[in-house]
Structure formats: C-alpha cells, structure tokens
Amino acid sequence: MSDSPTTPSAPRPKGEPRFPDGPSPDPAGSHFERRIRSFQPRRSRVTTSQADALQRLWPKWGLDIDGQRMLDLVELFGTEQAELPVVLEIGFGMGEATAQMAADDPDTGILAVDVHTPGQGNLLGLAERNNLTNIRVANGDAVILLREMLPPGSLDGLRVYFPDPWPKARHHKRRIIQPDFLDLAAPRLKPGALLHCATDWEPYAEQMLDVLTAHPAFENTQPDGGYAPRPSFRPLTRFEGQGLDKGHVVHDLLFRRTSGR
C-alpha cells in the first residue's frame, strides 16, 4: 500500500523549519546573493514515511548548504572510510537511481544535492532500508556548496542527470551547464575525475556538448568528440523510461577533468 499524504497542519511561522530536526527551508538565508538560479524549489506534499525519514535520519545523513563552513568529506562519510572517493550528484529527483548507484558501488560515496523535500525524504528512506551508508543528502544551492563548502580537489566525480532544460529561449540562461558553472566545478574535481551529464532534451544536449568541448579544464572521453553510450553505472530510471516511450532520445556526455587548468 502506498503512503498516504500527511495531514495538512496550521501554517508555520515564517522561518520555522518544516521538520524540527530536518532540512531547513532556506539554509543559506541572507547569504544568498542576487543571481539567476538553475533551480526552482517544488513544494510537493510529503508522505508520512518521507516525513519520518527526514525527522529521524537528517541529523545523521543530511546537511544544509548554508555556505558558512568548509566540509571535511572524510568526516562527513565517516572516519573509518578515509579512502572513500566521493562523487557529487546535483539533482536526484526521488532518489531511486542514486540509491541504485550507491548499492552497486558501495566503495564510492555519493553526496546528493536537491531542494525537493519529498525526494530528500524518499532517498533517506531508501538508504536506511537498503543499508546504504555511502549516501549523504544535501539541501540547498549546489553553487554555494561548490563555491564555499567543498575544498579544491575533493571530488572524484560530478553527475548532473536530467537537469531542468528551461526550454524557452528567454530561460536558457538558467540552465546549469554554463561556462561559469564549469569554472566553479573544475577546481573541486581531481584530475581524471568524470563529469557525467545526461538529458533527453536535444537542444540542451547540443548546448552541453558545445560548452563542455570548449572548456579547457575538460576533455571528451569519446574519440569522435560526440555523445557517449549510456554507461552501465547509470541506471535506467522510470522518468527516463517514460521519455523513451514518448520517443525522446537520451544523450549522455562523459568528460574528464584534465590535469591542466
């Protein structure tokens, strides 16, 4: 039986956390600067099981992106896993693919970022039920996380799967894969780290390929300079399957961080 939605409660006072021990509704607060963002928070209904996972597991496996401290990834994932490589995943939806990748590769830590509260709760629940101790869930703006909370050379990979394509021309500036974003991400990636993007939106795939190809800190893993076959470690998600049923073509882009700039 599926979970029933939580019963609506009285409005919370402004600034009060949705869950007392869970993710903050505005973790960076006044630290946010005025700039165009690639995401827009979705205020979907949280089920009882998601709310329970957020309440119980957020203090253990969750973190708010407040921009006020530098993260120690060894400490974040546990000192007993000092050699654990860490991959940053930006935007994980409901978390099914993230949980599957964590289960398939328990020797890699996944720092998964999103602003969708139901998805955060769902992923935490999946992690607990499947004993996936290599997942940490971050709430907030990935740009602030990269810029102010992750040390240089701390990441072994970066995954951006099915980001919002912002299809209208006037919204293209909101797309996350832009030269400025790559300038920010590159120093946080170790030489040889993989940047993996996937989209089913053809014009966005073309833009991604152009932007990544032009950036001096990344090189295409494909000898022909084109798209990559879907790697075995990226699961076929329900969302992707729905797109394929509609005739969408999914493009994977696999670029490697160079040892230069």
Residue-wise pLDDT for 101-137, tens only, equals 999 999 999 999 999 999 999 999 999 999 999 999 9
- Residue range 203-216, pLDDT digits in tens: 999 999 999 999 99
For the segment 237-258, the average pLDDT, to the nearest whole number, is 89
Amino acid at 91: G
The neighbouring-strand residues paired with 202 are: none
Give the CA-trace dihedral at 53, 54, 57, 63, to 10 degrees: 150
Rounded alpha-carbon distances, angstroms, from residue 180 to 29, 154, 174, 176, 244: 23, 19, 12, 9, 31
pLDDT the model gives residue 78: 84
Tell me which of 3, 52, 105, 164 is the catalytic residue. Answer: 164
What's 130's DSSP letter? T
164 is catalytic: yes
Rounded to an integer, what distance in angstroms lies between the CA atom of residue 210 and that of residue 204? Answer: 10
For the segment 171-193, the average pLDDT, to the nearest whole number, is 94
Please state at what angle helix 48-61 crosses helix 117-129, rounded to 10 degrees.
Answer: 70
